[in-house]
Chains A and B, each alone.
Chain A
Amino acid sequence: MGRGFCRATTELKIGKLTTFLGGIRPVAQRELREGARRPINHWLRVGSAAAGTIMLCAIVADYGRPAAELGSWLFAGLHSLLLGLICLIVPGLAADSIAREKREGTLGLLFLTPLTAGGIVAGKGLALAIRVLTLWLAVLPVLTIPFLTGGVRWFDALTAMDLEFCAAVLCLGGGLLASSITQERNAAFALALLFGVAFVLLFGWLFVFWLLLQFGGLAVFAQLDWRMCVEESAMLFTGVSSRQFGGWAMLNTPTALGRGFKSLLLASPPVALLFFYVIVRFAAHRIARSWQDRVPSLRRERWIKRISAPLFRGWFARGMRRTLDHNPIAWLQQYSWKARLAKWGLCLAIVLLEGVFPHREWYEIQNTQGILLWMLAGVATFVGVNSFMQEKRSGALELILITPLSVNTIIIGRVQGLWKQFLPSVLVIGICFFISGMLSHGWGNSSWTDFLYISIVVTGSFLALPVFTTYFALRVKNLFAAALLTWVAMFIAPAFGGLAMDNQNASDLGICFGIFCGDLGFALLACFLLRHSLSRRIYSF
């Protein structure tokens, strides 16, 4: 009887699961077919393999250690790159998968068929997982090089695969969760990145906590703060310490720590998959509740109107009118309350993060500003690319192009609008940098020099970034591809200038100046190409 009861319970559970995942196949099939026709997927594969190759060349060119360790260094570098790409690309791929269907009204059509919410989310998840797998396979040939070079053990390889798998699953879950929550593209991408990185970090912390618990018991936690955990988990995830790459093979020992590590490695993928399943269920629940049309809430509208009203209305209105008269395109970047909220919300977020990150040592202060500047660059790229893309999609760009506004006015207006949007945030970072340096470190000669160098480089990037985003937003159809290309340009332009000065044996200041000029030179080139494209009405739909 007991066995029969168990079988019946299992069958019931399987039946429930099958019902929940009903229609997973047609959704996955459709997603894969559609994805196969999108050039972005092809270019992502090519780009990932190219990034791996560039990373390999960069490590080899800069390598000054014993030849026997080269393989392990290459492996560590590639693994870190892959983790970074997973955290960046996978949430991005998943972010708009459900949100777009909601926006375009096709989600409702799917719900009118016998498909279930679970089937839709899982089908999309499956298709995305296959796409991510193809990305990983594209980088695989590059990953074999460290093996051939020697110094990489199978234990290291399996550990790396294990961690990459877990990161990919968690990021995919983050992307799907974000996509189910909102239907706006911008919000979906921002949330997906946030969730993806947060899940991976959380997973890393849990991993480290569990390992330390195995190693030293609860007493270890008293000596830890969260920053140390971030460092430890980063080390564990990438296999790289601040001194050298040790690999994970050193943990392949019969000690308690080694056993704990191996058991964690075995447990991680099922735990990540279980977490993914929970997210799929939650996302399915969300879309099942929200796919039908809803009347916009009047109370919400009124509330938004109240909180989004500017503080000094008369002064604000005059300022906006001046901007509109001067350059209507620059006004477009500032008119909405969302843009204003993003502008000042970003400043607030930076101040908060400045308070959270460590500022004890000079290198910590520099690292903090570096992280914040990279984050800001990411947001600026996304906003810049998206603003032009939206106009292209809605057709508003065509309407602007048939007005007597000159192409120069359109370009200057757009770039000026983006500068105005992000200038306060850059200034906040600069002021925080200055003050924290004063308070924690005291400004010496070397600090002043560092500050000057960083300021020159950041100014160059700040001036060039909006031009790159505007150009790629016009010429590239896909938002993600445009953002990636902007970042490629953001790396190439300064590297070009910096290397040119380095070849001239220039001083550090000279190299910084070279970086600045590289940025501006490439920005001018982008401006010229942009002008040409807009004048001839050449842009991608």
Chain B
Amino acid sequence: MDAPPLPAVATIGLTRLYGAITALDSLDLTINQGDLFGFIGSNGAGKTTTLRILATFLAPSAGTAKILGHDVVQDADAVRHVIGYMPDFFGVYKDMEVTEYLDFFGACYKIPTVQREKTVADVLELVGLTEKRGAIIGALSRGMQQRLGLARVLIHDPRLLLLDEPASGLDPRARIEMMAILQELQRLGKTIIISSHILSELQTLCNRVAIIEKGKLIYSGPVQGVREQMSSGLIYWVLPQGNPAAALALLQALPEISAAEPMEGQIKVTFANPDTDPSILAETLVRGGVKFTGLWEDELGLEEVFLRVTRGETQ
């Protein structure tokens, strides 16, 4: 029988104190290999602290963190070989050329000279910067510098990417392109942890998310799971065919329903009791002879989920 694969990240009781402030409070987190994992939290919630600990940049005050089986404190050198960390700042040498910059970091990762040239060309192509290979970094736009940061992260072909706000400050097209690159990287087998405030994008991009507030983990699991967990089961939508007024009149007459209101050709129905069987809606409409083409439960967006589970408290 095969042993289960090592988790990409496993933290147990991870704590980090800054003086009297507890930035991370006993964080228990497991991220599987191949996940595209969204890390969500308000400003000052502890996301960057977690990523910096995982990147071996910061030592935890208590608890342990392992990356692909390597402890981030005891075995930091091994961890640095398997991770690629992109902080929320560029960290570029503005007077260097794009290839010089990547060549420098390639040398830092001890990639042999011959292989380095090919690797630099490959990562530049992957992030779409091949045409800018000879440009001075200071002259690049913010989006391009962000892409260069991603190219730097990929230069040594890490298995785990830690990306802190990779899409912040990018225009919509650049954001979409960045997300496409991340999906491609996931397809190539990389595990990606991405911290972001743009929840609508994480919702479509990530298969799992963690929500953190005041250094404490509030939720960790599949995106759909948190939606279902947060869903009240009270609101349903009906899409009537033809005259919506007849459907509205039928639904408003139901005693189980506290409110039914038309909205842009649809009807929003709110049950008084979440335990009510929603099939009552279909039965009523069919019995009343009103045709409808859709009936579904109101689905919460990640932003709404985030607002419901957090209180917006920062440290």
Contact = CB atoms under 8 A, between A and B. Distances in A.
Partners in one complex: yes
A401 B57 contact: yes
B92 A394 contact: yes
Interface stretch (A163-171, A276-284, A331-339, A455-463): A331-339
Nearest to A338: B95
Contacts of B90: 394-395
Interface stretch (B108-116, B122-130, B274-282, B284-292): B108-116
Contact of B109 (A321, A395, A403): A403
A336 B95 contact: yes
Interface string B75-109: 00100110101010111111110001001110111
A396 B108 contact: no
A336 B136 CA distance: 11
Contact of A404 (B77, B92, B139): B77
A402 B53 CA distance: 11
Contacts of A11: none
A537 B107 contact: no
Contact of B96 (A324, A328, A335, A399): A335
Contact of A324 (B83, B85, B95, B107): B107
A399 B152 contact: yes
A336 B152 CA distance: 20
A537 B72 CA distance: 14
A328 B57 contact: no
Contact of A331 (B57, B107, B113): B107
Interface string A386-418: 000000001110111111110000000000000
A87 B95 CA distance: 32
A321 B91 CA distance: 22
B91 A403 contact: no
Contacts of A321: 113
A470 B110 CA distance: 24
A398 B104 contact: no
Contacts of B179: none
A402 B57 contact: yes
Q: Which of B85, B93, B108 is most buried by chain A, counting CB atoms within 10 A of its CB?
A: B108
B64 interface: no
A34 interface: no
Nearest to B162: A402
Contacts of A336: 95-96
Nearest to B100: A335
B58 A537 contact: yes
Contacts of A403: 80, 105, 108-109
B133 to A, nearest CB: 15
Contacts of B110: 404
Given A400-B108, A403-B80, A537 B93 contact: no
Main secondary structure of the interface of A (DSSP, over half): helix
Contact of B87 (A325, A332, A338, A395): A395
Contacts of A396: 91-93
Contacts of A395: 87, 89-91
A338 B83 CA distance: 33
A66 interface: no
Q: Report, as a range, how many residues of chain B touch the other chain.
A: 20 to 34
A2 interface: no
Contacts of B94: 394
Contact of A402 (B80, B100, B103): B80
A402 B81 contact: no
Contacts of B119: none
A328 B108 CA distance: 6
A394 to B, nearest CB: 6
Contacts of A335: 96, 100, 104
A402 B55 contact: yes
A314 interface: no
Contact of A296 (B93, B103, B139): B139
A325 B104 CA distance: 9
A403 to B, nearest CB: 4
Contacts of B105: 399, 403
A324 B106 CA distance: 10
Contacts of B109: 403-404
A332 B100 CA distance: 10
A517 B212 CA distance: 55
Interface string B211-246: 000000000000000000000000000000000000
Nearest to B56: A402
B144 interface: no
B108 A405 contact: yes
A299 interface: no
A296 B94 CA distance: 14
A536 B73 CA distance: 11
Nearest to A336: B95
Contacts of B95: 336, 338
A402 B94 CA distance: 20
B59 interface: yes
A332 B105 CA distance: 11
Given A296-B139, A336-B95, A402-B55, 15 more contacts: A324-B103, A328-B104, A328-B108, A331-B104, A394-B90, A394-B92, A396-B92, A398-B87, A399-B105, A402-B56, A402-B57, A404-B109, A405-B108, A537-B58, A537-B59
Across the A-B interface, give the 5 residue pairs with the lowest CB-CB distance, nearest first.
Answer: A395-B91, A403-B108, A328-B107, A395-B89, A399-B91
Interface of A: 296, 321, 324-325, 328, 331-332, 335-336, 338, 394-396, 398-405, 536-537
28 contacts: A324-B107, A325-B113, A328-B104, A328-B107, A331-B104, A331-B107, A332-B104, A336-B96, A338-B95, A394-B91, A394-B92, A394-B93, A395-B87, A395-B90, A395-B91, A396-B91, A396-B93, A398-B57, A399-B91, A401-B57, A403-B108, A403-B109, A404-B80, A404-B81, A404-B109, A405-B108, A537-B58, A537-B59
